[in-house]
Chains A and B, each alone.
Chain A
Amino acid sequence: MTDTSGQHLPANRDLDKRYQSGDISRRGFVATLAAATAVLSFGGSLGAARAAAERRADQLDAQAAPKRGGILKAGLTGQPDQLDPATSSVYTAAQIYDNVFDKLIVLDRNGSFLPALATRWRQLDPRTWEFDLVHNAVFHNGEPFTAADVQYTFQRILNPKTASAYTPLFDSIASVQVVNKFTVRFHLKQAFGPFLTNLAANGEIVNAKAIKAFDPKRHPIGTGPFKFKEWITSDHVTLERWPHYWGSGTPYVDSVIFRGMPVDEGRLAALQSGEVNWVDAVPLQDVKRLRSGSNPVFMTSNNAGLPDFLTFVVDKPPFNNKKLRQAVAWAIDKRAILAVAYFGVGQVGSAEVPTGSPWYSSNDPYHAGPNLAKAQQLLHEAGYPNGLTVEYLGLPQYPELLKTGEIVKEQLAQIGITMNITQLDVTPWSTRLVNKNYQITSAYQERTIDPDNFYSLLLTHDATLNYSGYKNPALDSLVRQAKQATDPATRKKLYAKVRNIMYEDVPFVFVHYETLNYAMQPRVHGSQVLPSLELRFKDVWLG
């Protein structure tokens, strides 16, 4: 998201401040903003149907039988704002409360749906989905889980009084019908491709009695593997194993302690000293060293992360000139940027989704680049035979993005474009971005599991986060078709067409795909990186 979305809700201003004061890291920051504007809507992923048993097994470490007991101490990048899944807007909070709550379905590491509180689901017609629910789930307050809780959960999210940040993810829901105690039916206003993905991303099921009896912001109560124990503000959150968890055998550890550690180097040092045994967001410069060793264990995924891209204001000079944008796209050496700015971690940028995504289509012409001769020719055709001078807004808060800017500056100099860098803090940067008061800058977008989350939010002419001024009715129409189609194969083809338009018009240059990185002690087993960026400790055990 371009952290742009930052400007939409007053809450985000706070975030900017907190980000600047170092309370939350980039990753936390990104997700927060994303959540606040509901950028999070994950997309529906493909191939929803593998056998549940198989998937359960592949979540576990293959080598050994899981052991019960122990305390898992996790170092996160920031502090939670609150622990109510309907209203929290901080990524760190989601990392914590996703262990307290269950959703109907979840995404596995390949982007397929797994059953959770729903054992089976089916689409009765394009606008109706039915879910069979587990019979043995119990909320941490002792209330048994039933279809009424599902109904309450989504009524609560859609109730304006709740002021949920996630309303846009679910406003396609017309009604939720309790068919019987363990069957629930969703009636949609219109067919909606990303529906399942959104359920898997932000559909944490809550209980009406628990919401009334406890402050949901401070004392979350779900059916999840861990029960909330305590939250010492600005220090830690402790969760305890829920002995009545419906998933047999899990969880394994007795408790989980989440600590906020905003300083990258400090987090890694805490892991190495044993203060914590699991950390999020390994600094990129340390990845090479961690990869070559076995302690701590380094973990990443090729389909979990976020795209970093250059964005232009395309309705004002000089970048209202398509050939000029194409020249930039051809001049950039993404492999050098990967090697230098990102220390070789992540992927060369190509599209809004990573190459490991089921949505990926390999029709990116710039993948063969850079091609300076072509870039120079395009620059000539664009009417700048003698080059030009442009201004790039740099974000020093995100060292990789600023380094990218500095490398791009050198690369554009080779074709005669002088790119001056102006560094800005996040807040003035987003102000200029939102007002389209820039020429070129780096941006990123969180959680684009479903391409709709990218195109409907950033690129259609009425998109809430369209800060490039891009407008193309052909693209709008394709994005709308893809959103309303429910067959994954059809949708995939439509998104390949969308990308063809994007590669031709170049409102963005996809520079890099940043991947999520975890590190842990070798005794921590069963942790995995999920494309939903969720953190689930249910299957984690300590050797």
Chain B
Amino acid sequence: MSAPATMPAAQDSRPVRFGLLTRALGRNRAIVAGLAIVLALTLVALAASMITPYSYHAMSYDAVLAGPSRAHVFGTDGLGRDLFTRVVYSFQVSLKVAFGSVVLALLVGIPLGLVAGYWGGLLDGLLMRLIDMLLAFPAILLAIALITILGQGLTVMVIAIAVVYVPILARVLRGSVLDVRQATYVEGARARGAGHMRLMLRHVLPNSIGPTLVQATLLMAFAIQIEAGLSFLGLGVQPPTPSLGYMLQENHGYISQSPWGSLFPCLAIALAVLGFNLLGTGLRSSLDPRGRAR
């Protein structure tokens, strides 16, 4: 069922993946659009201080809850801070959390899924029951519980979301590994005397990682939502560091006075989520020749 398993020249995975990517880029508008959004947001976040003349914490006492104007294109918040600036800086937090949590989750989830799927048996059973337990928790509740234990802040939020993601990614990878480990080319490699390590890393992993990477991309979109949710609850970054979710929280009492204070952060969340989702779904349809979703 896993896509790379049906690919020719599957023994060396790297050319296969890049080949896929270039082909996908050419053919798949979703990927192009998604990538464009994600790259644009990343650039905006990196160049935040060059894009806006304001500091995200500078208050203007005589422009509180001001509407969009030439001076403040998105208006100002309840403390007279420039909303555009805060949205731009918020992307730093969103993207740090999205990339950080997913990369961390991949670092832990890939070995777990690979080992469980490849070895099977008791080890697989144990790991999967553990993962079942973790998956039984609603994602955001698990994250909240972890933050309550570990304390607030960006790093803790990244870790908390990564903990939520590890079982998801490990399970997806394990599914593909179960398929791939029985493939004839794996048997062939084994027959030629390849050791377990070599089999896992050179043959099984490269050919089963595809769906996991797709899932990881989609989880970045979800991470942006979780980050916004946690920040809305005050469990994310601490003020005055801006975050999209926290901006919604700050404005929620003032919606009737300042609709833009909620509108722009909402649009920003939607845009970021859309970008990663387009990228993820585009990759998925390109990687799965049968057009089936995992």
Point out residues on A near B: beta carbons under 8 Å: 264-265, 283, 285-286, 336, 339-341, 343, 394, 396, 399, 402-403, 405-407, 409-410, 420-423, 425
Contacts and interface: CB of A to CB of B under 8 A. Distances in A.
A315 to B, nearest CB: 25
Given A283-B253, A403-B78, A421 B59 contact: no
Given A285-B254, A286-B256, 9 more contacts: A285-B78, A340-B59, A340-B79, A399-B250, A403-B78, A403-B79, A406-B59, A421-B238, A423-B234
15 contacts: A283-B253, A285-B253, A339-B64, A340-B61, A340-B64, A343-B64, A396-B249, A399-B78, A406-B79, A406-B240, A409-B57, A409-B240, A410-B57, A420-B238, A421-B239
B42 interface: no
B253 A340 contact: no
A511 to B, nearest CB: 15
Nearest to A397: B234
A405 B240 CA distance: 10
Interface residues of B, number: 21
Interface string B5-28: 000000000000000000000000
Contacts of B238: 394, 420-423
B80 interface: yes
A423 B250 CA distance: 13
A410 B239 contact: no
Contacts of B240: 406, 409, 421
Contacts of B87: none
Interface of B: 57-59, 61, 64-65, 78-80, 152, 234, 238-240, 249-250, 253-257
B77 to A, nearest CB: 10
A394 B234 CA distance: 10
A422 B152 contact: yes
A336 B63 CA distance: 12
A410 B59 contact: yes
Secondary structure at the B interface, as helix, strand, loop or mixed, is loop
Nearest to A333: B61
Closest 3 A/B residue pairs (Cβ): A396-B234, A423-B234, A336-B61
Most buried by B among A286, A339, A407, A423: A423
Given A394-B239, A421-B240, A339 B61 contact: yes
Nearest to A339: B61
A285 B65 contact: yes
A265 B239 contact: no
A336 to B, nearest CB: 5
Contacts of A405: 239
Contacts of B255: 265
A272 to B, nearest CB: 11
A286 B253 CA distance: 10
Nearest to B60: A340
A407 B59 contact: yes
A403 B58 CA distance: 13
A406 B256 contact: no
Contacts of B78: 285, 340, 399, 403
Contacts of A409: 57, 240
A420 B237 CA distance: 12
A296 to B, nearest CB: 15
A399 B61 CA distance: 17
A407 B257 contact: no
Contacts of A285: 65, 78, 253-254, 257
Given A410-B57, A423-B152, A340 B239 contact: no
Nearest to B233: A396
A411 B137 CA distance: 43
Contacts of B152: 422-423
A378 B65 CA distance: 35
Contacts of B58: 410
Contacts of A410: 57-59
A432 B57 CA distance: 27
Contacts of B249: 396
A298 to B, nearest CB: 16
Given A340-B79, A410-B57, A423 B239 contact: yes
Nearest to A263: B253
A42 to B, nearest CB: 30
B136 to A, nearest CB: 24
Contacts of A340: 59, 61, 64, 78-80
Contacts of B64: 339-340, 343
A336 B80 CA distance: 11
B259 to A, nearest CB: 13
A264 B59 CA distance: 26
Contacts of B250: 399
Contacts of B61: 336, 339-340
Contacts of A406: 57, 59, 79, 239-240
Contacts of A336: 61
A25 to B, nearest CB: 12
Nearest to B151: A422
Nearest to A336: B61
A159 to B, nearest CB: 41
Nearest to A288: B257
Most buried by B among A402, A405, A406, A420: A406
A425 B79 CA distance: 21
A396 B57 CA distance: 17
A425 B147 CA distance: 13
Nearest to A289: B257
A64 B59 CA distance: 47
Nearest to B62: A339
Contacts of A264: 253
A264 B254 CA distance: 11
Most buried by B among A340, A402, A409, A421: A340
Contacts of A265: 253, 255-256
A265 B259 CA distance: 14
Contacts of B234: 396, 423, 425
B291 to A, nearest CB: 46
A405 B239 CA distance: 9
A265 B234 CA distance: 20
A264 B152 CA distance: 28
A420 B78 CA distance: 19
B239 A407 contact: no
Nearest to B254: A285
B262 to A, nearest CB: 13
A399 B253 contact: yes
Nearest to A411: B59
Contacts of B59: 340, 406-407, 410
B146 to A, nearest CB: 16
Nearest to B64: A340
A350 B57 CA distance: 27
A285 B77 CA distance: 12
B59 to A, nearest CB: 6
B34 to A, nearest CB: 34
A249 B17 CA distance: 89
A406 B64 CA distance: 14
B258 to A, nearest CB: 9
B247 to A, nearest CB: 13
Nearest to A343: B64
Nearest to A337: B61
A422 B235 CA distance: 10
A519 to B, nearest CB: 14
A425 B78 CA distance: 21
A441 to B, nearest CB: 14
A409 B59 CA distance: 11
